[in-house]
Amino acid sequence: MEKLIELKDVKTSFFTHLGEVQAVRGVSYSLNKGEALGIVGESGSGKSITSMSIMGLLQYPGTVKSGEIIFKGEDLLKKNKKEMRSVRGNEIAMIFQDPMTSLNPVYTVGDQIMEAIRKHQNVSKAEALKKAIEMLILVGIPDPEKRINAYPHEFSGGMRQRVMIAIALSCEPDLLIADEPSTALDVTIQAQILDLMKELKDKLNTSIILITHDLGVVADVCSRVLVMYGGLIMEEGKVEDIFYNPKHPYTVGLLKSIPKIEHKERLVPIEGTPPDLLHPPKGCPFAARCEHAMNVCMEERPEFFECGEGHRSMCWLLHPDSPKTELKGGVR
Amino acid sequence: MIKGEGMDKRWEKASEEIKGEKKIRPSLTYWQDAWRRLKQNKLSMIGLVVIILLFITAIFGPMVSKFSYEDQDLKFGNIAPRFDIYEVDKSNYIYVHPEYKLFTVTSDGELLDSLRPVKNDMMNSQKIYEVDGKRVVLDYKNAKLAKKNPSIQKYKILVENKETEVTKRVFNKTYFFGTDSHGRDLFIRVLYGARISLTVAIVATLVNFFIGIFYGGISGYLGGRVDAVMTRIMDIISTIPLLLYVILLMVIIAPGLKTIIIAMGITFWVRMARIVRGQTLSIKQHEYVMAAKTIGAKNFRILSRHIIPNAMGPIIVSLTMMIPNAIFTESFLSFIGLGVSAPQASWGTLASDALAGIRTYPYQLFFPSMAISITMLAFNFLGDGLRDALDPRLRK
Amino acid sequence: MVCKAKQNLIIGEERMGKFIFKRLGQMLFTLYIVITATFFLMHAIPGGPFTREKPLPPAVIAALEAKFNMNAPLHVQYFDYMKGVFSFDFGPSFQKVGVNVIDLVQSGLPVSAKLGGTAVLVVLIIGIPLGIISAMKQNKWEDYVVTILATLGVTIPSFVIATMIIYVFSGKLGILPSFGLTSWKHYIGPVIALSGFSLAFVSKLTRSSMLEVLQQDYIRTARAKGLSEFVVIGKHALKNALLPVVTYVGPMIAGILTGSFVIEKIFAIPGMGKYFVESVGNRDYTVIMGVTIFYAGFYIIMVFLVDIIYVLIDPRIKLHD
């Protein structure tokens, strides 16, 4: 399995007039070809900004302070604007959360798909049209020849998201980043979209990074998971490890707050609010809300500790000197 | 977990206080947040201060001034707020008016009296005066030449047959802004104009406010056919260029302050009604309105306690922007001759009167224009600031 | 595939046709109300239009009586007037003996049209790009300058600007003429004063509209596709940002129209605006009525055209209600 993309200690900040908001504070991970990686976290955890950093879509005043993003052997952060433009939409594609607003209302759906195709591939208008219709068929839009000339407002939310996927995959990218693709949709539609993504992943052998705050979605699509909080990775591992054997209090908390039909227990939310990224805590970002927090957690940021094959967690509890604590969590 | 001595303090559980500091942030109510944001906007605050000052001077200024807006003194017509004076001797100074008249003044710039020439020697283009026993001559031989060649002086002053230069330039201490063609104090007239402009603005705005809220609120709240008909009426009214109708009305009902207010009241409420209607329509859907209805609250109560207060944001902004609009309309109407009649002074009439003498007496135009501009700027800044402050989307 | 597309087009055209027809009807209805309202307003003048300080010259009275049939019952006068309006005959002027209202309109209209037309062009050709630049360079010096100028333009009344221009450029510097409209130099002052407000407003509007559009998700999508910034702004952002500006064209024309009254008076330009203001001062009722109807009609037609254009541009508008 070859590495498709690798992030090395990426730090992204927004230099606002109020100060430096450190959105991503040192994130490293890698993704193999054909893999589906899930990134989970609350709003403000840095999960979306990390992806925007990969795509080079950060707008002023955001910028990647340091680190490397190696994609197919090249550091994306060293590319100039023109080079990045030929990567975006072509080798790496992204779809976003709200399909209702992600399409330009004054141009037809066909126009918007063909635009992507014609930008990156040297084809004629007629060929682009043909390809666009094929994409609509691929994502399951009925009556594609007619719908290609329709405007976004003539589609439902689920349909629009399918169009977004069609646009993203039209140039057969190696990597698809999906930022909360199903969050804004009804549960049943959500399932459809996720199934579609799984199907396309297998068909086109596209690697996927799926960003979400919903662990259930991750379990469905991904093979590996990253848990992020406060601009840092808290825990990383295979889906089974994270779900059945979580090694970080935050992950445990997340799992506890999933409602389950069988168990009639109360939902246990995690108390408190996310950290202020303008003045990030010097210790572990989760310490203030963690029931197991120790003094060291407030003072020093923990290192990563291995807890299995491909399973690591950034928590002082895993340090050999720390008191033995049983993390009661995980799905049964 | 009990730890023995010598154990590293690091591994002890962190106390709640240490954790607690990091947890929560306070939040403000809508109005507190809006006021805080408004205060931060320097331009808006400047605008607010200017408006307050304007009100104060408009209300109290005329009370403390020695002139009234209609006091005329024809001999002091068209005197500038700043002029050159010549020294006749240590206790007598004179000022030469552009119309070749002489005035005695103090060395500070206070006007004393106009001088009648002892002899008007037209053959030699001279006017001869006597000032406190001294012979002063105004020689205007070069007047015609000076018109073609501006570098030549138009006239010369000779005191006891000796050519005298300008002594100094002083501010007019009698009439701060100078006088108009009828010798009326421009300063007081500008203040009086402020009264008129502000009165028109406020009254017209209030009238439009009430009509607009009433109409728009009912239209939006009742919905259905009533709303459809009422909206259609609003559409028809707004398709017609309103200023034209204001003008027409002014022609029919004699022009004057009352008419301007009536005319504006009849035509400008549509914009406010539209906003109120829009707000009502969207607030109507909110749950607390449904809740109030289920309790059995009467329509009027729902409107006044729930809907209107929540719509206040855009309403306030609209009000603040209506005021400069009203001031502008009044000035505009006065300028084309449909405003208040002489001797009343509105900024528009002042500007219109000043047009005729614009080359020689530009100050007559300057002051009312500045007054209009500054007032409108102040209201606009305030309005812009209010709009930003009251926009819930910009809440931090 | 092709057949279905063609079918869509035909249905679309039918809908558009119906829409235009409906709007046309509304327009004519409004026009009718305007003419009626004007007529009744004029006849509501207490004491009637004939009782004034100065008695009218007998020739005029004769012409008026002949034209207006003053002693006939009101509804007859009304119908006569309506007939007249539709044949562009507004009657004779009260003040200028022997001159018909329509003559004044005919001589003043081309002048005013040239002035007004130039002003509109200036507003669109300069205002929109300024707004775009201002939005692109938000908070940098270009934005700062444009915003300040725009604020001044919106707050300082046109007649103040006009008088300042005359004072500075004609009086002190002597580089611009101050009356008439005979050479291209004559256009500068009046056009600046006339377009000032609208120019400032359009650039402010374009700026804020553009800023709002740039925050939208679909702009992010466009960038994510790898499109060049030029295409993102010029294709995706621009069309959306200009929609509110199109809506403003109607009020803008109204503003330039009424602004012309004051500007033509100040710059002594012999256009319709000047005649209108003079007739207001002279209480020349037939001229006032005729010119009002003319202006109102023109404005209503413009609003109608703008509505049509807006529907053509924004596909979200449903034509069938």
| Contact across the interface for B358 and C283, Cβ inside 8 Å | no
**The amino acid at B326:** A
pLDDT tier at B7, thresholds 50, 70, 90: very low
| Contact across the interface for B243 and C254, Cβ inside 8 Å | yes
N-terminal to C-terminal alpha carbon distance within chain A: 31
**Helices C2-43 and C74-86 meet at what angle, rounded to 10?**
130
Output phi, psi for B307, to 5 deg: -75, -50
Nearest one of B258, B344, B325 to B250, comparing CA atoms:
B258
For the stretch A241-254, pLDDT in tens is 888 888 888 888 88
Which residues of C fall within a CB distance of 8 Å from A105? 218, 240, 314-316
Cis omega before residue C46 (within 30°)? no
Q: Tokens 């309309």, residue?
A: B329
Cα R_g (chain A), whole angstroms: 21
DSSP letter at B137? E
> Which residues make beta-bridge pairs with B138?
B127, B157
Nearest one of B94, B156, B169, B154 to B130, comparing CA atoms:
B94
Q: Do residues B204 and B246 lie in contact, with contact meaning Cβ atoms separated by under 8 Å? A: no
Q: How far apart are CA B48 and CA B43, in angstroms?
A: 9
Superfamily grouping for domain B186-394:
MetI-like (1.10.3720.10)
Cα R_g (chain C), whole angstroms: 24
Q: Is the dihedral of CA B294, B297, B303, B309 positive or negative?
A: negative
Q: How far apart are CA B259 and CA B339, in angstroms?
A: 9
In a 3-state reduction of DSSP, which class is residue A326?
A: coil
Residues 6+ apart with CB under 8 A from A165: A95, A139, A181, A193, A196, A197, A200
pLDDT higher at A232 or B277: A232
- Whole-number pLDDT of residue B74: 79
Neighbouring C-beta atoms of residue C96, cutoff 10 Å: 18
Neighbouring C-beta atoms of residue C12, cutoff 10 Å: 11
- Whole-number pLDDT of residue A224: 92
> Which residues make beta-bridge pairs with A210?
A38, A178
Q: Do residues B152 and B145 lie in contact, with contact meaning Cβ atoms separated by under 8 Å? A: yes
CA of B25 vs chain A CAs: smallest distance (Å):
9
- Whole-number pLDDT of residue B356: 77
The CA-atom distances, in angstroms, between C129 and each of A88, B234, C155, C234 are 29, 33, 21, 11
Mutate to test the interface with A, among B19, B21, B23, B24 (most CBs of A within 10 A): B19
Residue boundaries of the structural domains of chain B: 82-171, 186-394
Q: Do residues C296 and C34 lie in contact, with contact meaning Cβ atoms separated by under 8 Å? A: yes
- Whole-number pLDDT of residue B174: 80
For the stretch B249-295, pLDDT in tens is 777 777 777 777 877 777 788 888 888 887 777 777 776 667 777 77
In a 3-state reduction of DSSP, which class is residue B142?
A: coil
Q: How far apart are CA A331 and CA A240, in angstroms?
A: 10
- Whole-number pLDDT of residue A233: 92
CA B120 to chain centre: 46
| Contact across the interface for C163 and B372, Cβ inside 8 Å | no
In A164-265 the beta strands, taken as DSSP E runs, fall at 175-179, 207-212, 224-229, 232-238
pLDDT tier at A263, thresholds 50, 70, 90: low
What is the chain A residue with the closest CA to C5?
Answer: A146
pLDDT higher at C265 or A312: A312
What is the chain A residue with the closest CA to B16?
Answer: A288
Q: Do residues A53 and A79 lie in contact, with contact meaning Cβ atoms separated by under 8 Å? A: no
How many residues does this entry show for chain A?
Answer: 332
The pTM (predicted TM-score) of the whole model is 0.80
- Whole-number pLDDT of residue C119: 93
Max intra-chain CA distance, chain A: 68
Residues 6+ apart with CB under 8 A from C67: C84, C91, C92
Q: How far apart are CA B19 and CA A134, in angstroms?
A: 56
- Whole-number pLDDT of residue A175: 92
Residue boundaries of the structural domains of chain A: 3-222, 246-318
Q: How far apart are CA A237 and CA A230, in angstroms?
A: 19
Which residues of A fall within a CB distance of 8 Å from C221? 96, 102-104, 164, 167
The beta-carbon neighbor of A115 closest among C223, C227, C239 is C227
Q: How far apart are CA C62 and CA C39, in angstroms?
A: 21
Residues B302-330: b if buried by 16+ CB within 10 A, e if exposed: bbeebbbebbebbbbbbbbbbbbbbbbbb
**Mean pLDDT of all residues in chain A?**
87
- Whole-number pLDDT of residue B394: 55
**The amino acid at C18:** K
In a 3-state reduction of DSSP, which class is residue B299?
A: helix
User: Average pLDDT in the A208-236 region?
Assistant: 89
Residues 6+ apart with CB under 8 A from B352: B334, B335, B336, B337
The beta-carbon neighbor of B336 closest among C30, C265, C295 is C265
- Whole-number pLDDT of residue C302: 86
Count Cα neighbours of B114 within 13 Å in the Cβ-side half-sphere.
13
Q: Quick one: C274 exposed, middle or buried, by C-beta within 10 A (0-12, 13-18, 19+)? A: buried
CA A189 to chain centre: 19
Residues 6+ apart with CB under 8 A from B296: none
Determine how β-strand A207-212 pairs with β-strand A36-40.
Answer: parallel
According to DSSP H, which parts of C44-157 are helical? Answer: 58-68, 74-86, 101-122, 128-136, 141-155
**The amino acid at A71:** F
- Whole-number pLDDT of residue C222: 93
pLDDT higher at A2 or B369: B369
| Residue B250 tokens, joined | 């002014």
For the stretch A161-175, pLDDT in tens is 999 999 998 888 999
Here the ipTM equals 0.85
Which residues of B fall within a CB distance of 8 Å from A289? 19, 23
Max intra-chain CA distance, chain B: 123
Percent above pLDDT 70 for chain A: 95
Which residues of C fall within a CB distance of 8 Å from A55? 224
Neighbouring C-beta atoms of residue A46, cutoff 10 Å: 26
**The amino acid at B223:** G
Query: Which residue numbers of B have CB closer than 8 Å to C's CBs?
Result: 236, 239-245, 247-249, 251-252, 324, 328, 331-332, 335-338, 351, 354-355, 358-359, 362, 365, 369, 372-373, 376-377, 380-381
pLDDT higher at A172 or B222: A172
| Residue B314 tokens, joined | 């855009």
Q: Do residues C239 and C252 lie in contact, with contact meaning Cβ atoms separated by under 8 Å? A: no
Output phi, psi for B97, to 5 deg: -80, 145
Which residues of A fall within a CB distance of 8 Å from B22? 272, 275, 281, 287-288
Which residues of A fall within a CB distance of 8 Å from C311? none
| Contact across the interface for C262 and B358, Cβ inside 8 Å | no
Determine how β-strand B156-159 pairs with β-strand B162-164.
Answer: antiparallel
| Contact across the interface for B244 and C295, Cβ inside 8 Å | yes
Which residues of B fall within a CB distance of 8 Å from C295? 241, 244
Output phi, psi for A3, to 5 deg: -80, 125
Write the class of the CATH domain A3-222.
alpha beta
| Residue B99 tokens, joined | 């119309």
pLDDT tier at A261, thresholds 50, 70, 90: low
What is the chain A residue with the closest CA to B26?
Answer: A273
B-contacting residues of A 289-308, CB under 8 Å? 289, 292-299
**The amino acid at A332:** R
Q: How far apart are CA A251 and CA A237, in angstroms?
A: 11
A-contacting residues of B 18-37, CB under 8 Å? 18-25
Nearest one of C318, B106, C1 to A147, comparing CA atoms:
C1
Q: Do residues A100 and A160 lie in contact, with contact meaning Cβ atoms separated by under 8 Å? A: yes
Q: Which of A177-181, B389-393, C1-5 has the lowest mean pLDDT?
A: C1-5
Long-range contacts of A120-127 (CB under 8 A, 24+ apart): A120/A86, A120/A89, A120/A90, A120/A171, A120/C226, A121/A171
User: Average pLDDT in the B233-258 region?
Assistant: 74
**Mean pLDDT of all residues in chain B?**
78
CA of C160 vs chain B CAs: smallest distance (Å):
6
| Residue B370 tokens, joined | 């500045």
- Whole-number pLDDT of residue A2: 78
Per-residue tens of pLDDT for chain C, all 321 residues: 445 555 656 666 777 788 888 888 888 888 888 888 777 777 766 544 554 445 566 666 666 666 655 556 677 777 777 777 777 766 666 666 667 777 878 888 888 888 899 999 999 999 999 999 998 888 888 888 898 898 888 888 888 888 888 878 776 666 666 676 677 777 888 899 999 999 999 998 999 899 889 989 999 999 999 899 899 999 999 999 988 888 888 888 888 888 888 888 888 888 888 888 887 777 777 788 788 888 888 888 888 888 888 888 887 776 544
* Residue B355 scores a pLDDT above 90: no
* Residue B26 scores a pLDDT above 80: no
Nearest one of A33, A199, A5, A172 to A91, comparing CA atoms:
A172
* Residue A189 scores a pLDDT above 70: yes
Cis omega before residue A61 (within 30°)? yes
Q: How far apart are CA A295 and CA A287, in angstroms?
A: 9
Q: How far apart are CA C226 and CA A81, in angstroms?
A: 10
Q: Tokens 């952060």, residue?
A: A77
What is the chain B residue with the closest CA to A285?
Answer: B22
* Residue A124 scores a pLDDT above 80: yes
The torsion defined by the Cα of A78, A82, A86 and A88, in degrees rounded to 10, comes to 70
